[in-house]
Structure 1
Amino acid sequence: MPRSIRPDAVLIQAVIAGALSFAHLHDLAAAAGQSGWKAWAYPVSVDLLLVAAWRRLRTARRDRSAWTWFVIALSASLGANIATAGLLDLGHVPAWLRILVAGWPALAFLGGTLLVHSPTTAPTDPVPGDHTEEPAAPDVEVHRTDDPDPSPAPELALAPDPVKPAAPVVPAALLDHARKLAEAHRASTGSPMPADALSARLGLPADMTRAITDQLQLA
């Protein structure tokens, strides 16, 4: 079922006021030399600029540009209403008023363009109910004492004794040859053969000569 349309006193008052303001603007534009359809376009331009500025103010209350163009459009509407109330001779409109009416289209176009293409500033106030709380950091108690730590210091691990390298294995033939040299030296000199002399005769490294000497002594 369609809803029944009931008369609203405020709506009726708005329609009457808009019609009267529209007529006053038309009469003033016609008296200023704008005839035909031009005179009807002036009230449309003023009312559209007024509505555009008001809609801008609803989304951005602190927009100075919107307030400026709202005051300009409101002044144009009020000025036309007052001028056509008998205070101005519409048969002899002054030159400054003719210039103002002729320049209104460019001014209205500039205002409408700025209102449409100006960026809307985002509100900086926090949105109610949208509170994002950061988790609180846990409390950490720090106790400072000047006494040294009573716990004993860990004992330093002693380095292990170096492992002595194993004695080289002396082949049996080499050992017999060294024994013969040592016996020949004892027989000719009557004293044991020194290790350095044996090393010089054999031409072997010191560790190998030492191993041969040890085995000859043990033998």
Structure 2
Amino acid sequence: MPEPGRSDTTRAQLARIDAVLVQALIAAALSFAHLHDVASAAGQDGWKAWAYPVSVDLLLVVAWRRLRSGHTKAAAWCWFVIALAASLGANVATAGLLDMTDVPAWLRILVAGWPAVAFLGGTLLAHSAPTATSENAAEVIESIEDQEDTPEPAQPAPTPAPEQPAVSVPPVPAALVQHARKVAAEHHTRTGAPIDTPTLRARLGVPAHMADAIAAQL
């Protein structure tokens, strides 16, 4: 049986979540209706008037997700403010400040030009996101560079045997080797030939000696 205290806490949390969800749905519906009314008053009738609030809300969501991801925050803030201004402007305009039967020419121009602005913002935000693979490779390479910059304590060098000269091979992290295998497999699938060391080095962005060590383990 669940504990009485725990069940009460769970019910309280669900109640708060439900209240927030209901408030968010009400606010979204009102903002959606205001954007539709402004677009319709500006001469965008039929399905076009309904597409405007969808466009504004989608740009808001994309910009907010980019802010949460931590990448290109300046661009994300710029487009978030633009979409928020469009939504807030429509809410204020429907409060009686404008004659919805005879809207000014500048508002008609803004409404007519919004699709191009929204398309530009959405495209820039969508195509400026780094892929997860490149992020992982950059993190691994950065950790390798940090390890190379950290001085190691001096140790007496072992004397190599005459018949087996020692070969200095830099240590390669397992994560980088695994990523290199994925790159090599993708190259083989695309070209039908095994990946060579110069191509592997260019794809990974590592020094030559590191690329040789990685190629030896593939």
TM-score (normalised: structure 1) = 0.54
Match of 2:153 in 1: 136
Match of 2:81 in 1: 71
Match of 1:168 in 2: none
Per residue, is there more helix in 1 or in 2? 2
Match of 1:83 in 2: 93
The residue identity in structure 1 corresponding to 2:98 is L
Q: 1:25 aligns with which of 17, 35, 40?
A: 35
Q: CA deviation at 1:102?
A: 0.4
The residue identity in structure 1 corresponding to 2:21 is L
Aligned pairs for 1:206-217 (under 5 A) are: none
Say whether the 8 Å CA contact 1:46–1:76 is kept in structure 2: yes
Say whether the 8 Å CA contact 1:60–1:120 is kept in structure 2: no
Q: Distance in 2 between matches of 1:136 and 1:79?
A: 64
Q: Over residues 6-32 of structure 1, what are the superposed CA-to-partner deviations in whole Å (9 max), with x where a residue is unaligned?
A: 451111111110000000000000000
Say whether the 8 Å CA contact 2:40–2:49 is kept in structure 1: yes
Aligned residues between the structures: 132
Say whether the 8 Å CA contact 2:39–2:111 is kept in structure 1: yes
- Detail structure 1 runs of 4+ shifted over 4 Å in the superposition: 4-7, 130-134
Q: Over residues 88-117 of structure 1, what are the superposed CA-to-partner deviations in whole Å (9 max), with x where a residue is unaligned?
A: 110110000001000101110111111111
Q: 2:120 aligns with which of 106, 110, 113?
A: 110
Q: Distance in 2 between matches of 1:12 and 1:136?
A: 62
Match of 1:38 in 2: 48
1:101 counterpart SS class:
helix
The residue identity in structure 2 corresponding to 1:75 is A
Q: CA deviation at 1:135?
A: 2.7
Q: CA deviation at 1:59?
A: 1.1
The residue identity in structure 2 corresponding to 1:18 is A
Q: 2:103 aligns with which of 81, 88, 93?
A: 93
Name the Cα RMSD after superposition: 2.8
1:135 counterpart SS class:
coil
Q: Distance in 2 between matches of 1:119 and 1:136?
A: 41
Segments of structure 1 that go 5 or more residues without pairing to the other structure are: 140-219
Larger Cα-atom Rg: 1
The residue identity in structure 2 corresponding to 1:78 is L
Match of 2:175 in 1: none
Q: Distance in 2 between matches of 1:88 and 1:76?
A: 15
2:21 counterpart SS class:
helix
| Residues 1:47 and 2:57 aligned together | yes
The residue identity in structure 1 corresponding to 2:89 is G
Segments of structure 2 that go 5 or more residues without pairing to the other structure are: 1-10, 157-218
Say whether the 8 Å CA contact 2:34–2:94 is kept in structure 1: yes
Q: CA deviation at 1:134?
A: 4.8
TM-score (normalised: structure 2) = 0.54
Q: Distance in 2 between matches of 1:116 and 1:17?
A: 26
The residue identity in structure 1 corresponding to 2:80 is F
1:92 counterpart SS class:
coil
| Residues 1:15 and 2:25 aligned together | yes
2:84 counterpart SS class:
helix
| Residues 1:59 and 2:105 aligned together | no
Q: CA deviation at 1:63?
A: 2.2
Q: Over residues 98-155 of structure 1, what are the superposed CA-to-partner deviations in whole Å (9 max), with x where a residue is unaligned?
A: 01000101110111111111144969xx9xxx8956532369xxxxxxxxxxxxxxxx
